[in-house]
Amino acid sequence: MVIKASAHRQIEALVRDLASDSAATRDAAVARLTVIGARAVGRLTEVAGAASGSPQARAAAFRALERLGDQHALDAALAGIGDADLMVAIAATGAARSLFDSPRGVEAVDGLTAAALDRTRPPKIRLAAARALRDLPRATVAPIFAELEGDPNPELATLGAALGGRRPRPGTRTPGPPLDATPLEDPDGLRRRLLSETGARLPLASLHRLVQRLREREEEEAPGRRAAWTTARAAAHAALAARGSKVALYDLKESLETAREPLPVEFLTALTALGDTSCLESIAAAYSRAVNGRDNGWWRRHLSDSFKAIVKRERITRRHAVMKRIEKRWPAILNSESGIRNRER
């Protein structure tokens, strides 16, 4: 969008006001930028995402973006939820919440769900993320709040107890069979249903809850009986990957880190589709164990293919810190099979 010089000057003046020590000045700037609308989105996104910027200005920018509800702000909002400054992070949850009905609504729900359930995050950010999810349809959010019922944080546990067990309103339809709430008795049948259109119809929060339940069931079983449940969990990951959801990416990484035998191929299908830089060391470690163990050629090839796909997507070269760590600890995956191009040497 071409912005006239006069409008550009006005936007810049208002952006400067976002950093004012006066709350009234900041609020006035937010209101006027909201009126300007789409022309201000790019500049507001820059301010909100600038890690070196004033926290007050960044939080105010996110509040303006929340009012505008423009999907182009989603990446900055999702990154902002993890910001070290609580004021910025909480404002970012509001910006993400405003995009539930946008074409990128699934990503917004996914990011807020991950923040609400992540016990490593500050409680205030988790609470803000959980509250942002409250007005979504019950079928989508009930599994999230059910998970929070047992949270060690009392505020989150109270919120979970209040919303996790709510009954659907009359006339509300739950999309797809409630697999996340049914007894886990037939792992093979469950796997088939997840890999069919049933998995595509389930709410993302339900699939996430199912991953957790399946992992718990695996851990309860004797070692010789776990494989079928592991395969069912892999199918749940494949269903999440088909929807572009990273909400259970942590489980994929942990599975690789602890695996001493090849995992079902659906794990690597999901990892190839969704993995990011944080996954590379886990893949390299698993590849190294496979090389040093008995021959598992197909497993090594799939690990290598996933590694290569992530490196290409994230534009990683050997100069990146993660690649230097891998070269030092697990060099086997950096051979010609992995297809890594040393573009910067």
Q: What would the pLDDT profile of 226-239 be if each residue is shown by its tens digit?
A: 899 999 999 989 88
Distance CA 21, CA 43 (A): 20
Band of pLDDT at residue 150, cut at 50, 70 and 90: confident
Query: What torsion, rounded to 10 degrees, do the Cα atoms 328, 331, 335, 337 define?
Result: -140
- Taking the alpha carbons of 270, 272, 275, 278 in that order, is the dihedral positive or negative? positive
- DSSP assignment string, 31-63: HHHHHHGGGGHHHHHHHHH-TTS-HHHHHHHHH
| φ/ψ of residue 170, rounded to 5 | -55, 135
> Which CATH number is 81's domain given?
1.25.10.10
> Within a domain: residue 193?
no
Distance CA 132, CA 110 (A): 12
> Within a domain: residue 55?
yes
Contact between 177 and 159 under an 8 Å Cβ cutoff? The reply is no
Question: What would the two tokens of residue 297 be?
Answer: 């050629």
State yes or no: pLDDT of 83 exceeds 90: yes
Radius of gyration in angstroms for the set of CA atoms belonging to the chain, rounded to a whole number? 23
State yes or no: pLDDT of 247 exceeds 50: yes
Three-class SS of residue 329? helix
pLDDT at residue number 128: 92
> Within a domain: residue 157?
no
pLDDT at residue number 168: 39
> Within a domain: residue 339?
yes
> Within a domain: residue 16?
yes
101-123 residue pLDDT tens: 888 888 898 899 989 988 889 99
Q: How far is CA 275 from the centre of its chain?
A: 11
Please state, as a whole number, how many other Cβ atoms lie within 10 Å of the Cβ of residue 134.
13
Least confident of 3-7, 258-262, 281-285: 3-7
Three-state SS string across 221-236, please? CCHHHCHHHHHHHHHH
Q: Of 81, 114, 130, which closes a domain? A: 130
> Within a domain: residue 251?
no
Identify which of 129, 13, 37, 18 has the alpha carbon closest to the alpha carbon of residue 80: 129
Helix spans in 69-202 (H): 74-80, 86-97, 105-117, 123-132, 138-148, 154-164, 187-195, 197-201
Contact between 78 and 47 under an 8 Å Cβ cutoff? The reply is no
> Within a domain: residue 281?
yes
> Within a domain: residue 212?
no
Domain span including residue 343: 275-345
Number of domains in the chain: 2
Question: What would the two tokens of residue 328 be?
Answer: 């030092």
170-222 residue pLDDT tens: 443 333 344 555 567 788 888 888 877 666 667 777 777 788 888 888 888 88
Helix axes 123-132, 138-148, angle to 10 degrees: 160
Residues in the chain: 345
Identify which of 207, 204, 197 has the alpha carbon closest to the alpha carbon of residue 111: 204
Q: Of 81, 115, 130, which closes a domain? A: 130
State yes or no: pLDDT of 338 exceeds 90: no
Band of pLDDT at residue 294, cut at 50, 70 and 90: low
Sequence letter at residue 86: L
Q: Of 114, 130, 146, which closes a domain? A: 130
Contacts with 271 (C-beta within 8 Å, 6 or more apart), sequence order: 252, 256, 279, 283, 306, 310
State yes or no: pLDDT of 166 exceeds 50: no
Q: What share of the chain has pLDDT > 70, as a percent?
A: 85
Identify which of 128, 125, 70, 141 has the alpha carbon closest to the alpha carbon of residue 99: 70
